[in-house]
Structure 1
Amino acid sequence: MDERKRESMIAYLRHRMADFGITPDDVAAALAAAPEVGRYRSANGDSWSGEGAMPQWLKQAISAGQSLGHFELSSGCVSTPSLQAGADWTNDPFAGSPLARSNAR
């Protein structure tokens, strides 16, 4: 990623954090407190510890050509944020991507 795109993304993230009242300390606390529930996780939030039988969602992804390493969690896994009512997502550059998916109520 070139420097201009990087700076643009940082500005966008700062703007969205301000919209929701999120501070850098909030992000740091969420990262520090996030429990690791499994060794592997899907975009939908399904997880597997790596022990016992491999779950169906992971078998299907692997047979479709995805690598097991794609689903492996790093030590700093992030929990799903709660959504704030009335948020304006019309200009969200992540719309339609895995980053935009959530468990909407």
Structure 2
Amino acid sequence: MATLQELLAQREAIEREIELTKKRERADAIARVRSLMAEYGLTLADLGGKTTGSSGKSAGTTKVPPKYRNAATGDTWSGRGLQPNWLKAALASGRKLDEFKV
């Protein structure tokens, strides 16, 4: 029967092997995809993917249309991210979110 130390060493070796195999298979897959793209003249746009800049963020972000509008000031909110202060204040004073729907 194997000792705990031997089993832990085996697990560590297997985990290293798994990681190396993942990297190798991923690199092979990328090479095959690039080869097919070159063969057929495909771009990322053809695949429906987003292109990214060096920062890794999406290069072409689209603006989301507003879902809520403050009729008094014309301020808008898309419904994404933190609620703007004007909306927080209105909701705190008892108004309903539905009152601001565009």
Task: Quickly name the TM-score band, shorter chain normalised.
Answer: 0.3 to 0.5
With a CA cutoff of 8 Å and minimum separation of 6, indicate the structure with the bigger relative contact order.
Answer: 1
Structure-2-length-normalised TM-score: 0.36
Which protein is richer in helix relative to its size?
2
Which of structures 1 and 2 has the bigger CA Rg?
2
Structure-1-length-normalised TM-score: 0.35
